[in-house]
Amino acid sequence: MRREAPQSLADYAPLIFPAGMLTVFFVIPFGTMIAVSFFQRLQGAFYEPAFVFSNYARFLSTFFAGVLGFSLFLAISVAVCCVLLGIPFTYLLTRMQRKTQVVWLVALLSILSLSEVIIGFAWSTLFSRTAGITNLFVALGAMEKPVALSPSFGAVLTGMVYQAFPYTVLILYPALVRLDPTLTEAARTLGASPVKAFFTVVVPALRNTVIATLIMVFIFALGSYLLPQLLGRPQHWTLSVLITDQAIYQSNMPFAAAMAVFLVLVTLALVGLTLFIGRKGEAA
């Protein structure tokens, strides 16, 4: 089936609604944010319209570079962990009976109904010294005495992977279900072991899906500001935490906006780079 290109102006009409929504709920707020990021901060008061670069200048320091670097590193780690866990998990899931699949998917979807606060508190309890999982290890004789596993980088990473995992599975699932089983069968008849067939046939066939998943989880994780606070030490706070501090507690909207704009730009650049490399690899 070939789709015809829009011929007249009326053919574009169905676009009006989504375009309007996008303008009202995305373009205008984002534009406001960019405008505010150039406003003049008045210490001891609020801000006044102006066109200054001081908010961006303040951001350009090794301190904020460090925080930005950590935020990106954390988001990338979460994305990589989710995909590494998600691909084998989803692959095995698609090979299960329909009924079992439904149970698993419903369980995963129910995680999405949990708020970040609940996830954070649940994990901080699990990682605590007084009531956490280390007590279980002590009871089993694997450890001497219970220890606190939170706050730590591992705790933040675990919490965020837990939160992003359902999304990962949801994106990977359709692609894996549609994956032609004859591909692996062919590999098997040609002598590949199941593991080898998985890595040499299934994974390359999923290339684009994997890249899309990585980007999606990366962006999702980049915006997280509650879990790093609940499960991490101050050095594990992301840029989003500092943006919240500035916007809500310091009422320094211009600086918060400048940081947010910077974060968006860096994110777009990274996503662009990923897509660029992905396309190049495809051409080769």
Partner 1 sequence: MTKILNSNISRRTVLGAGLAGASMLAMPSILRAQDKSLKVGVYGGYFKKSFDEHIFPEFTKATGIAIESVAEPTGEAWLVQLEQAAKAGQAPADVSMMSQVAMLKGQATELWTPFDMSKIKNGSNLLDHFVNKYPDGRIAGIGAVAWYITLVTNTDAYPEPPTTWQALWDPANEGKLGLLALVSNSFLLEVTAKTFMGGTNALDTEEGILKAFEKLAEVKPNVALWYRDEAQFEQALKSGEIPMGQYYHDVTGLAAADGQPVRSTFPKEGGIQDSGCWALSRASGKGDEAHVFIDYMCQPAIQATLSRKVGTAPTVKRDLLDLTPEEFAAVSSDIEPIIPRYDLYQTKSDWLNQKWTELIVG
Binding stretches for partner 1 (CB under 8 A): 13-14, 16-17, 41, 43-46, 63, 67, 121, 124, 128-131, 148, 151, 229-230, 233-235, 237, 242, 245-246, 248-252
Beta-carbon count within 10 A of 156 CB = 27
Whichever of 44 and 204 has its CB closer to partner 1, that residue is 44
Q: Are 74 and 221 in contact (CB under 8 A)?
A: yes
Q: How far apart are CB 249 and partner 1 at their closest, in Å?
A: 6
Whichever of 51 and 63 has its CB closer to partner 1, that residue is 63
Whichever of 22 and 107 has its CB closer to partner 1, that residue is 22
Vertex 283: Cα angle to 279 and 284 (nearest 5): 120
Whichever of 141 and 234 has its CB closer to partner 1, that residue is 234
Q: In this structure, which amino acid lies at residue 30?
A: F
Decide: helix, strand or coil at residue 152. coil
Q: How far apart are CB 172 and partner 1 at their closest, in Å?
A: 33
Query: What is d(CA 79, CA 81) in angstroms, rounded to the nearest whole number?
Result: 6
Alpha carbon distance, N-terminus to C-terminus of the chain? 30
Whichever of 13 and 52 has its CB closer to partner 1, that residue is 13
- Nearest partner of 225 among 116, 141, 119, 143, judged by Cα: 116
Query: What is d(CA 93, CA 86) in angstroms, rounded to the nearest whole number?
Result: 10
Query: What is d(CA 218, CA 18) in angstroms, rounded to the nearest whole number?
Result: 25
Whichever of 13 and 24 has its CB closer to partner 1, that residue is 13
Whichever of 212 and 247 has its CB closer to partner 1, that residue is 247
Q: How far apart are CB 17 and partner 1 at their closest, in Å?
A: 7
Whichever of 95 and 129 has its CB closer to partner 1, that residue is 129
Q: How far apart are CB 53 and partner 1 at their closest, in Å?
A: 16
The pair of three-digit structure tokens given for residue 242, joined into one six-digit string: 């500092």
Q: How far apart are CB 99 and partner 1 at their closest, in Å?
A: 39
- Nearest partner of 39 among 28, 58, 21, 52, judged by Cα: 52
**Burial label, 202 (beta-carbon count in 10 A; 0-12, 13-18, 19+):** middle
Q: How far apart are CB 41 and partner 1 at their closest, in Å?
A: 7
Q: How far apart are CB 145 and partner 1 at their closest, in Å?
A: 14
Q: How far apart are CB 31 and partner 1 at their closest, in Å?
A: 20
Decide: helix, strand or coil at residue 47. strand
Cis, peptide link before residue 151, omega less than 30° from 0: yes
Query: What is d(CA 229, CA 60) in angstroms, rounded to the nearest whole number?
Result: 24
